[in-house]
Amino acid sequence: MLESLKVRNLALIENCEIEFTKGLNVLTGETGAGKSILLGSVMLALGQRAEGDIIRNGADEAFVELVFSMDSRCKEILDELDIPSDDDVVIINRKITPSKSTYRINGVTVISRQVKEIASALIDIHGQHEHQSLLDAGRQLKMLDAYGGNAIEEALDKVKTTADAYKDAMNRLKDAESMAEGRERAISLLEYEVGEIDEADLKPGEDEELETSYKRLSSAEKISENLSEAMNLISSGSMEDAGEMLSRAIAAMERVTGLDESAEELLCKLTEAEGLLGDFSLAASKYSDSLEYDEDLFVTVEERLNKINYLKSKFGRTIEDVLKYRDDKAAELDNLRNLDEYREKLKEECKKAGSEYEKAAGTLSKLRSETALKFTDALTKTLEGLNFLNVNFSVGIESDATRVSANGFDDIEFMISTNVGEPVKPVRNVASGGELSRIMLGIKTILADKDEIDSLIFDEIDTGISGVTAREVGKRLFELSSKHQVILITHLAQIAAFANTHFVIDKKAEAGKTKTDITMIEGEARVSEIARLLGGDSTSAAAITNARELIESLGNG
């Protein structure tokens, strides 16, 4: 859930921090106090485009920070983004200057796309634009599928798999049909390429062995010269080579070994050194014999390497890549030589893949039809509770069995009538802004058990409603908040009275500047705010009494 929000120098907000709670969090305030700035600050932190004048007048930069508690889904996304998730929180912040914006998640600088990716698992924001998205048929289909739960999710996975397989088979058939044009030329080219690779008789790892041999052969002369010099310095037979000098040193130490134990230890070390020199001389002599330069072998290795590198430059980075290219082209060559048989084989594959897709899409369509009935029944009851007194809701489904799509072959349309005797029509044609917000609330309510996103923000949910309807909307929001954290901006007392936690947004002038403050209220301060929302004098005894009675009637005082 959203634990806290920090805002600095954003529009009218100078500096504020809000700590949200579980349940229903309500924000109220006078018109123009800046309630929209709060929602705007959350959306800015989550990647919304910043307008040029968003920074508070006189400040150099604006800053917004959101702190969320983290679940396993969020951790998976953070791991995919390579962002640390050691603590049980996700901290998203954004610094906005006149020239740029900087996003960070858990201290790591990220781009807006990554912020939006993690935000999709953390919070769901419903403002006027989001209510309008209810008019989109694709969004409606996702809502219906979400209501269908695991059964539809599994059916969708099967449809996607079979649709991809069918499209792949059709693309291969299309390619095969186009092969007929220029077939002889293609066969000739493939035969040349396959033959060129076969002629080389490549062996995996051969190039690495040749590189080692080439390096050794090309360096043999230099190695031999320096090895001879080292051998001469150790055992040339002169009075000053290392072996002779070491023998003389041993003889000197032998003359004093009986005089002191330390001298005997030093003699032992010299004797060990003499043995090491002997070992070196023997090994160096054998190595020197193996370094005889073979010009014919050098030419052979060089030519073979050139051949292999040429093939790698044409067909792949490694010998394994070249051999794979050869096998792929050989299979393609075989298909071209037997094109008619190949096309018939692909036609059969397409027919089989198409049949499997139709079966999977048909199963999905049947599940959707069954789900639509349950969805209709549940949403109708919920909408009646939201004061749609004569509502008639249904889900229209049209299927086109010729369409191949990862979503199956169904199109759906939410249909509604709110007046007795009127036929149902698409929601997009008849619902007002206020009705859309209540329909969206109803859908969120019936999806509450299936929605994995913990935090929901609602703005303008109370557009165009009042009285009994407002009370029912508040009741539904309160019920929804038992399973999700709900953050709500409202101007209606009947909704605000349901709050578990109540914040008031206040605009005031100080030192010649206007600023917005956000404060959590409770007790008598909350009663006074509810009285103001009821439209009465928040200081009058009657208004206070009405407000207190409203809060107490909901058991939420």
Q: Contact 520/503 with Cβ under 8 angstroms? A: yes
How far apart are the C-alpha atoms of 448 and 254, rounded to whole Å? 95
Residue 469: the pLDDT is 82
Residue 500: the pLDDT is 93
H or E stretch covering 497: none
The b-or-e profile of 363-390 (16+ CB within 10 A means b, else e) is bbbebbeebbeebbebbbebbeebbbee
Q: Contact 112/412 with Cβ under 8 angstroms? A: no
Paired tokens of 11: 């529009």
Residue 363: the pLDDT is 96
Q: Which residue has the tokens 């908040």?
A: 481
Residue 449: the pLDDT is 74
Counting Cα atoms < 13 Å in the Cβ hemisphere of 443 gives 26
Q: Contact 464/432 with Cβ under 8 angstroms? A: yes
Residue 473: the pLDDT is 87
Paired tokens of 75: 């951790």
Residue 35: the pLDDT is 67
- 511 Ramachandran zone, left/alpha/beta (phi>0; psi -120 to 50): left
pLDDT along the chain (557 residues), means of 10: 91 88 90 71 86 82 91 85 84 90 91 88 73 76 91 95 95 79 76 87 88 79 74 72 78 77 81 82 76 74 89 90 90 79 87 95 96 95 84 93 92 89 84 75 83 80 78 88 90 91 86 81 92 78 87 74
**What residues pair up with 514 in beta bridges, in sequence order?**
509
How far apart are the C-alpha atoms of 207 and 319, rounded to whole Å? 8
**Whole-model pTM?**
0.64
Residue 450: the pLDDT is 76
Spell out the alpha helix ranges (H) of 180-294.
Answer: 183-200, 206-218, 220-235, 242-254, 261-290
Cα angle at 121 between 462 and 165, to 5 degrees?
115
